Amino acid sequence: MKRTLFTLATLLLTLALCPAQPSKQFITVYAEPDHADWVYACGQQAEFTIYAVKENVRMPLTEIEYSYGPEKLKAEKTGKVTTDKNGYARIKVPGRKVPGFTTVNVSTTWEGRKYSGMTNIGFDPDKIEPTTTLPDDFTEFWEDAKVKAAKVPMLVRKRYAPEESDDRVDVYYVRIQSYRVGNYVYGVLSVPKKEGPKPAILRLPGAAVRKFSGIDPLAYEGFVVLNIGVHGIPVDQDQEMYRQLENGSMSGYVLKGIENRDTYYYKRSYLGCVRAVDYLCSRADVDASRIACYGGSQGGMLSIVTASLDKRISALFAYYPAFCDVTGYYYGRSGGWPHLFIDRSDPLIEQKVAVSKYYDVVNFARFLTQPGFYAWGFNDIVCCPSSTFSAYNVITAPKTLRVARDTGHWLYPWQTAEALQWLKSQFGME
């Protein structure tokens, strides 16, 4: 029975955290590198085998278009090749001079429809250095912000949701005052009915404006789970309201106030995550020595930031974290989501770049002391690996990275299963 519940929890966790995996194309076009790990030394030439597969059969004598160049930037070369009678063609790709990623895009057209694929290869990815820099007063800025925010009373409101609870887990909707008077963090709390203090997880959301509801599957594994939003709006409203907000006043929220470090949108969000930790630590049913945070994309970003700001977090796992090295484009290479500073004609670009350094995940990663579990893929075009490696490489705390190279902005179930096992090991729950 215990094993069955673990498998169910892992499956539900995967479904809850990951975007839907892309549907299989009728024709799949492959660019297969000659290194099985997709990793090369700087300056080392790569050779690719290119082929298209239709109904599980390679397509002979088929024209395939290709291009390659620095990740997320303009292609350095484009061309066409025709597969041989066995369905294969080959191209050579020059090595990069500095650590980073090169993207090879391939496509073919069949009966008027275009089918495409990509492969992102790394050149010494463990040596990628961030383009962003650490402001001299970074620590002072955030310590001062935390001190001011801590003076705001929590004024917690909690509503029991019997219709969403069951015989093992109780569900509550909570509202916690945060950051300043009249500002709130809203979330859903899943509490196992087992007696005594329990380890807790702060679950942090990906980008978008959405509803949260129901039992978090990790509560069945013995964790108190607080699943929060970071927009200061209730999480239990009709989905239509969130759609209207996302298309209206909340559209482009990641850019709001970025001209000033004190008004940038994420200041409230970051401090709201710390306030959520305050709340968990205040609960008698939470073992305050065993609190973790996790999330993917924006949630991965918030996990690293929260653990960096609040040492009461004792472990974290972050999947393809966003907002890593966002100054990349400003300095001529790819940057992390939300892909800022591409337009160099922006008259406020210097000011915005300076503000971004107080919020970039790279600069929070420098101060991590807790063990962390990280996962992503080389083919992620949303939170590209140049950016995530920029953050990962500056972490000096204990760290585990599980890469599935062919994944984009999603995970395989084995990655989330390993993360859960890793966390249980950290908390002595094996």
CATH code for the domain in which residue 85 is found: 2.60.40.10
Is 9 among the domain residues?
A: no
Claim to verify: residue 94 and residue 168 sit in the same structural domain: no
Does the residue 407 lie in any domain? yes
Regarding whether 159 and 103 lie in a shared domain, the answer is no
186 and 265 together in one domain: yes
Where is the domain boundary, 112, 127, 142?
127
Q: Quick one: pLDDT at residue 9?
A: 47
Domain that holds residue 292: 131-426
Q: Quick one: pLDDT at residue 267? A: 98
Please report, for residues 119, 120, 127, 338, the alpha-carbon distance to residue 37 in angstroms, rounded to integers and kept in the order given: 12, 11, 16, 28
Residue 316 shares a structural domain with residue 259? yes
Q: Is residue 99 situated within a structural domain?
A: yes
Catalytic status, residue 297: yes
CA atoms of 354 and 135, how far apart (whole Å): 8
Q: Please report how the helices 413-426 and 2-17 are oriented relative to each other, as an axis angle in degrees rounded to 10.
A: 120
Contact at 8 Å (CB) between 263 and 278? no
pLDDT of residue 25: 86
Specify whether 64 is located in the same domain as 171. Answer: no
Extract the residue ranges of the chain whose pLDDT is less than 50.
Answer: 1-20
Query: How would you classify the pairing of strands 89-93 and 157-160?
Result: unpaired
**Within this chain, do residues 110 and 170 fall inside the same structural domain, yes or no?**
no
Last residue of a domain, one of 109, 127, 145: 127
251 and 297 part of one domain: yes
Let me know: does 29 contact 49? Beta carbons within 8 Å.
no
Q: Does residue 51 form part of some domain?
A: yes
Count how many residues are written for the chain: 430
Which pTM value belongs to this model? 0.93
Q: How many domains does one find in the chain?
A: 2
d(CA 87, CA 400): 39
Within this chain, do residues 102 and 144 fall inside the same structural domain, yes or no?
no
- Please check whether residue 391 is in contact with residue 130, taking contact to mean a CB–CB distance below 8 angstroms: yes
Whether residues 387 and 407 share a domain: the answer is yes
Of 89, 105, 127, the position where a domain reaches its end is: 127
pLDDT computed for residue 14 by the predictor: 45
Measured distance CA(292)–CA(313) in Å, rounded? 5
- 167, 183: one domain: yes
Distances (CA, A) of 314 to 217, 310, 326, 398: 21, 9, 27, 12
Residue 12 lies in a domain: no
- Same-domain status, 79 and 198: no
Instruction: Establish whether the linkage from the previous residue to 338 is cis, with ω within 30° of 0.
Output: yes
Residue 331 DSSP code = G
383, 326 Cβ separation under 8 angstroms = no
Active-site residue among 190, 297, 303, 386? 297
**How far is the C-alpha of 366 from the C-alpha of 137, rounded, in Å?**
14
Query: Residue 75 falls within a domain, yes or no?
Result: yes
Examine residue 16 and state whether it is found in any structural domain, yes or no.
no
Q: What is the pLDDT of residues 90-132, one digit of tens each?
A: 999 999 999 999 999 999 999 999 999 999 999 999 999 999 9
Helix, strand, coil shares of the chain, percent, nearest 5, are: 30, 30, 45
124 is known as an active-site residue = no
Q: Give strand ranges (E) for 24-154.
A: 27-33, 39-40, 46-54, 57-58, 63-70, 77-82, 89-93, 100-110, 113-123
List, in sequence order, every beta strand (DSSP E) within 193-284.
198-203, 224-228
Assess whether 249 carries a catalytic annotation.
Answer: no
Q: Which of 380, 386, 387, 390 is catalytic?
A: 380
Instruction: Let me know whether 84 and 170 are in one domain.
Output: no
10, part of any domain: no
Q: Contact, 415 vs 402, CB < 8 A?
A: yes
Q: What is the CATH number of the domain that holds 324?
A: 3.40.50.1820
4 CB neighbour count, 10 Å cutoff:
8
